Amino acid sequence: MRAMLRPLILSLLVPNLLILSRSKAEDWPRWRGPSANGISSETGWKAQWPPEGPRRVWSAKVGIGFSSFSVSAGRAFTMGNHNNQDSVFCFDAATGRQFWKHTYDCLLDPRYYDGGTSATPTVDGARVFSLSRKGHLFALNASDGTVIWQRNLAKELGAEIPEWGFAGSPLVDGDLLIVNVGDAATALEKDSGRTRWTNGKGPSGYSSATPFDRQGKHCVALATHAQIVGVEVLSGRRLWSHPWKTEYDINAADPVIQGDLVFVSSGYNHAGALLRLTDATATVVWENKLLRSQFSSPVLIDGNLYGVDGNAGPECALKCVEWTTGRLRWEKKGVGMASLMAAAGNLIVQLEKGQLLIVAASPAAYQEVSRAQVLGGKCWTQPVLANQRIYCRNSIGDVVCLDVAGR
């Protein structure tokens, strides 16, 4: 009997073992993911869903804001504001059980929009770092939320708070923590919070610092209120800059970098442009109005940019633009202020009105794989895939975790 059953058992187990061997789970410990480019290397997750969409695993309420999610070591982190208090939340990533929250006073400040939190927490091992719109910077113990150190950067550095508050997420780079505060970033020692360098006291932009290497130097690029700048991480020295003046000084999308090329963009009918870095300058390769991303940073896949063009209304479109030429490959109108990330050859797109889309990352044509209504309200926040679950939220703080395990 055992001899007869053995082939049957193997026939049932082998397909599942093959699926597991082809799958690769990945944490998402910071804004724009492990590589800071909006792309996950996770594979084996399910991109095709039934009509009702993927199964909802858990939900929560975190307060008003637009912070996205960081997922690390089985925990999910985000932020929100309630009654003029910000909170950093830590959930069990699989069940939604709240492990802890850290709360402090911070005005909602709804100026022409909902207000609330903008930046996303950053996880670095046993610590999580968060930055408020008013400049409260915390290093928290990731296991219990206790404060390791804290700074009020606006007050202590005299840095001007931009009109819509600080929005860039903290970047851990070696032993430094880099934030878009001041004219061209500020770096602190991540262990102590002590300031290592800072560049001026003027208003910052709203992007996060993007790391890259250039001519033997480790650098970050970021948007200030009127320029795109490159800064050497070790010294804080500005290496190059490119004028980038947008209406209302809203430079919020992160630069996209490959080799010596940098793509920058902003909304309000400004432009998107590809810059080429030389010794100390950035020259324009091409510039047009095809991909004007206000705050949802595009992703670069196989020589093509995928991003959201526009900043309000039905004219917003999901587009594919050729990296080296700026030529439009395709567009899908009517997505609103959508946000996206990518994984396993697909775009994961959260539409403004709460629909979640999977779209093939192909320059040939717009190819929709799946669509489901997963939330209501206003959804401007980047969705996050981590360990075969997708995390989404809306502006009032409804959070959902969706099961996309490939079975």
Residue 261 within any structural domain of the chain: yes
Q: CA-CA distance, 397 to 100, in Å (whole number)?
A: 17
Q: Which domain holds residue 125?
A: 34-403
Neighbours of 312 (CB within 10 A): 12
What letter represents residue 206's amino acid? Y
Q: Is 228 a member of any domain? A: yes
The reply to whether 247 falls in a domain is yes
What CATH number is associated with residue 239?
Answer: 2.130.10.10
- pLDDT of 406 reads 84
**Nearest CA among 239, 266, 241 for reference residue 252:** 266
Residue 333 region by backbone torsions, left for phi larger than 0, else alpha for psi between -120 and 50, else beta: beta
> pLDDT (tens digit, 0 to 9) for every residue of the chain, 407 residues total?
455 445 444 444 444 444 444 679 999 999 999 999 999 999 999 999 998 999 999 999 999 999 999 999 999 999 999 999 999 999 999 999 999 999 999 999 998 999 999 999 999 999 999 999 999 999 999 999 999 999 999 999 999 999 999 999 999 999 999 999 999 999 999 999 999 999 999 999 999 999 999 989 999 999 999 999 999 999 999 999 999 999 999 999 999 999 999 999 999 999 999 999 988 899 999 999 999 999 899 999 999 999 999 987 778 999 999 999 999 999 999 999 999 999 999 999 999 999 999 999 999 999 999 999 999 999 999 999 999 999 999 999 999 999 999 86
Q: Provide the domain count of the chain.
A: 1
Distance CA 264, CA 287 (A): 9
Give dist(CA 15, CA 309) in Å, integer. Answer: 42
Residues 121 and 101 sit within 8 Å (Cβ to Cβ)? no
Cite the DSSP H helix spans in 78-171.
153-157
Is 393 within the bounds of a domain?
yes
- For position 20, what pLDDT does the model report? 44
Instruction: Extract the tokens encoding 180.
Output: 């878009």
Task: Take residue 174 and report the two structure tokens written for it.
Answer: 């070696």
DSSP 249: G
Residue 172 lies in a domain: yes
Q: What is the pLDDT of residue 173?
A: 97
The bridge status of strand 39-40 relative to strand 339-343 is parallel
Residue 405's pLDDT is what?
A: 96
Q: Is residue 9 part of a domain?
A: no
- DSSP state letters, 248-304: GG---SPPEEETTEEEEEETTTTEEEEEEE-SS-EEEEEEESS--BSSS--EEETTE
Chain-centroid distance of CA 333 in Å reads 22
Considering the domain boundaries, does residue 11 fall inside one? no
Q: Is 140 strand, coil or helix?
A: strand
Residue 1 lies in a domain: no
